[in-house]
């Protein structure tokens, strides 16, 4: 009985330590993600202030992707 109790206490200590390590890792990743978001927002503000053209919308991206695909198909046909 005592051996089993010692084994369980030991396992609990190991799990507690790994839990703390995972928590610290998650907090670090969360802080890094938060910092990246803040940096991204700052860069977007700088881009808007500099008067650069805004990024294309999703619809524009989809239209351009479709055009690229059609041009690729034309190229394949012309190669044949």
Average pLDDT across each block of 10 residues of the chain; the chain has 80 residues. List them in order.
95 94 90 91 86 72 89 82
CA dihedral over 72, 74, 78, 80, signed as positive or negative? positive
Give the count of domains, the chain. 1
Given a contact cutoff of 8 angstroms between Cβ atoms, the answer to whether 64 and 56 are in contact is: yes
| 17, 18, 35 from 4: Cα distances, Å | 20, 21, 46
Backbone angles phi, psi at 56, to 5 degrees: -65, 155
**What is the reported pLDDT for 52?**
64
Residue in the block written with tokens 């802080």: 31
**What is the reported pLDDT for 38?**
93
Domain hosting residue 44, numbered range: 1-79
pTM of this prediction? 0.48
């Amino acid at each position: 009985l005592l051996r089993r109790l010692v084994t369980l206490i030991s396992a609990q200590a190991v799990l507690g330590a790994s839990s703390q390590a995972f928590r610290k890792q998650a907090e670090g990743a969360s802080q890094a993600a938060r910092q990246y978001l803040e940096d991204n927002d700052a860069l977007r503000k700088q881009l808007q202030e500099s008067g650069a053209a805004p990024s294309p919308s999703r619809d524009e991206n989809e239209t351009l992707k479709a055009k690229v695909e059609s041009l690729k198909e034309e190229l394949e046909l012309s190669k044949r």
